């Protein structure tokens, strides 16, 4: 019996970009996919677009929410897959075999989670790479130095989400970092590295849009580290410095 993969996409006024995300899921060679769209009561025609092109959309919810992490939590709660991952509304898979690579990694490693590499790409031209995020093999001690896998490439067994919980809505920007620390550090969830790019992320994410957001992100990262029992000063310093090589690997 093949693993069922739940892919959760949170949307809000995302009609212009969600088409690419949905088609990216549609085009996957792996068949046992459940695509879940959680929409925050969009004012544009996002829902109509989803209904029109969402060939693999099994669940569509459109209602007000408390932000992207609340939407993703809703997706986790209704997911029925063996493993769960996230496809943001402006992201795409790198190729049509990405989900097959994810499933192969789960089956071969028997790990609780898997992750891979990610390319940051231009908003208008996803073939042009701006930064390359090469994750590298997982080592427990790396978490003390601010390491984390690219969250859009992180897939984890649903049973682990049920045991360890979803995203903490107390964080506005860094709930994904907090969740990774809670899973890999505190929860000691086993993980496996797929050494290839699986996701392309358009530049311009919420955490990097302004100086105010960058400062807030750092404050939330510090809180996440302290809450999960990690040395925050060392980790925060190395976490920010580690981004510099990403610009040099294009």
- The crossing angle, in degrees rounded to 10, of helices 46-53 and 15-26 is 20
Banded model confidence at residue 237, pLDDT cuts 50, 70, 90: confident
State residue 162's pLDDT score. 97
pLDDT band at 211; cut points 50, 70, 90: confident
In this prediction the pTM is 0.91
pLDDT at 197 over 90: yes
Q: Which domains does the chain have, with CATH numbers?
A: 5-248 (3.90.550.10)
Q: What is the average per-residue pLDDT within 77-99? A: 97
Concatenating the DSSP letter of every residue in 8-66 gives: EEEESS-HHHHHHHHHHHHT-S---EEEEEEE---SSSHHHHHHHH-TTEEEEEE---S
- Residue 205's pLDDT band (cuts 50, 70, 90): low
Under a CB-based contact definition with an 8 Å cutoff, are residues 250 and 131 in contact? yes
Spatial separation of the C-alpha atoms in residues 100 and 30, rounded to whole Å:
5
The encoded tokens of residue 152 equal 């859009």
Q: Measured between alpha carbons, how far apart are the two ends of the chain, in Å?
A: 39
Lowest mean pLDDT among 96-100, 139-143, 242-246: 242-246
Q: At residue 247, does pLDDT exceed 60? A: no
In the chain, what percentage of residues exceed pLDDT 70?
92
Angle 26-31-35 from CA coordinates, rounded to 5°: 50
Find tokens 């999960």 and name the residue. 228
Residue 209 has pLDDT above 90, yes or no: no
In the block, residue with structure tokens 């809703």: 74
CA-nearest of 107, 250, 123 to 192 is 107
- Please write the tens of the pLDDT for every residue from 37-63: 999 999 999 999 999 999 999 999 999
CB 110 within 8 A of CB 191: no
**pLDDT for position 163:** 98
């Amino acid at each position: 019996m093949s693993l069922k993969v739940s892919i959760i996409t949170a949307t809000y006024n995302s009609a212009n970009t969600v088409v690419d995300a949905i088609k990216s899921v549609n085009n996957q060679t792996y068949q046992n996919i459940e695509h879940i769209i959680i929409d925050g009561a969009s004012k544009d025609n996002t829902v109509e677009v989803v209904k029109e092109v969402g060939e693999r959309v099994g669940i569509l919810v459109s209602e007000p929410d408390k932000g992207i992490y609340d939407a993703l939590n809703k997706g986790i709660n209704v997911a029925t897959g063996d493993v769960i991952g996230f496809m943001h509304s402006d992201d795409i898979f790198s190729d049509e075999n990405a989900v097959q690579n994810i499933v192969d990694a789960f089956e071969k490693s028997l790990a609780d989670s898997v992750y891979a590499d990610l390319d940051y790409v231009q908003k208008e031209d996803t073939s042009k790479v701006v930064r390359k995020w090469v994750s590298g093999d997982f080592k427990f001690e790396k978490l003390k130095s601010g390491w984390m896998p690219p969250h859009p490439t992180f897939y984890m067994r649903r049973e682990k989400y049920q045991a360890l919980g979803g995203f903490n809505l107390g964080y506005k920007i860094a709930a994904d970092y907090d969740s990774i620390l809670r899973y890999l550090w505190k929860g000691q969830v086993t993980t496996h590295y797929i050494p290839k790019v699986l996701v392309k992320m358009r530049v311009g994410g919420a955490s990097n849009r302004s100086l105010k957001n960058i400062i807030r992100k750092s404050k939330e990262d510090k809180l996440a580290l302290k809450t999960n029992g990690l040395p925050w000063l060392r980790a925060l310093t190395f976490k920010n410095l580690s981004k510099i090589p990403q610009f040099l690997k294009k």
